[in-house]
Amino acid sequence: MDKPIRRITSFTVDHNVLEPGFYISRVDGDVTTFDLRTRKPNNGNYMDNATMHSVEHMFATLIRNSDIADKVIYFGPMGCQTGFYLLTRDVTPADAWRHTVETIRKILAYEGPVFGASAKECGNYRNLSLEAAKTELRAYLPVLEKLEDSNYAY
């Protein structure tokens, strides 16, 4: 490599002091990456694959059916198994927070099959659990509710 490797933004955050919360991870023009941190990093308490996968299916489907559907770029789990990234275009942090809370409440109220839980729709459809998603989000929702009107900074 001819030039030095630049550290990505998320690696500049001290994960040893990071708590569960809702953070602005980075802003790239009109795209904002939000860090939906559901668990304390480096604490030995990580999400299993079924939990991450199930939250992803449920949250991604419902947020893409919300009134900001056309502004959602991506939603998915962090490889470190401690949260999720939500990327949006032209959505204020307060609106992203509000839609996150609303989406979680919809998931918690939902009764039925996990969205996309078939071999045709998913490459690992047997590894989904609505109850696992709800358990994760039941613990996370009170954290979010305390953050209304925050600046969402790390």
CATH 3.30.1360.80 fits 19-143, yes or no: yes
Non-local CB neighbours of 108 within 8 Å, separated by 6+ positions: 134, 137, 138, 141
Q: Using CA atoms, how far apart are residues 23 and 72, in angstroms rounded to an integer?
A: 16
At 103, give phi and psi (nearest 5°): -65, -45
Kindly report the backbone phi and psi dihedral angles of residue 62, in degrees, each rounded to the nearest multiple of 5, phi listed first. -70, -40
Instruction: Outline where DSSP puts E strands in 29-129.
Output: 31-37, 72-77, 83-89
End-to-end C-alpha distance for the chain, whole angstroms: 31
pLDDT at 1 exceeding the cut of 70 = no
* pTM of this structure: 0.94
Extents of the domains making up the chain: 19-143
Query: How high is the pLDDT of residue 49?
Result: 97
The model's confidence at residue 100, banded by pLDDT at 50, 70 and 90, is very high
Mean pLDDT value across the chain: 96
- Which position has the higher pLDDT, 21 or 150? 21
* The one-letter amino acid at 35: D
pLDDT tens, residue by residue, 21-75: 999 999 999 999 999 999 999 999 999 999 999 999 999 999 999 999 999 999 9
Quote the Cα angle for 73-57-63, to 5°: 45
Estimate the crossing angle of helix 49-63 against helix 93-109, to 10 degrees: 110
Q: Answer whether 107's CB lies under 8 Å from 134's CB.
A: yes
